[in-house]
Amino acid sequence: MYIGVDLGGTKIKIGMVNEEGQIVNSGIIDTDPSHDDKVILRDMTAEIERLIKHEGLQFQDIRSIGIGVPGLVDYEKGTIIYCTNLSWYNVEAVF
């Protein structure tokens, strides 16, 4: 299984995809730009965990998680350098 995340300014959309590329499950949560980045990342993580649990899986069953961020990312460090829709600067996004 794979997970894709779209980090939006008003909503976070999360999809779980199987090996054949079919969407198995998905979720949407609200994003409040006034919230601290840690709160938003915690909410995102909780929704990912909920989807995994709902499918009867464990985190180890997920081959990868991709997160779409509108802005600049240092993927080697796991840092969001700048996220335009949430006005984040240098946010550590390691889960």
56/77 Cα distance (integer angstroms): 31
Domain annotation for the chain: domains and CATH numbers? 2-69 (3.30.420.40)
Write down the pLDDT at residue 33: 87
Residue with tokens 């998680």: 65
* Structural tokens at position 34: 């006034």
User: Could you give phi then psi for residue 52, rounded to 5 degrees?
Assistant: -60, -50
**Predicted pLDDT at 95:** 58
What is the chain's pLDDT, residue by residue, as a tens digit (95 residues)?
A: 999 999 999 999 999 999 999 999 999 999 988 888 999 999 999 999 999 999 999 999 999 999 999 999 998 888 999 999 999 999 987 65
Q: In the prediction, which pLDDT does 93 show?
A: 79
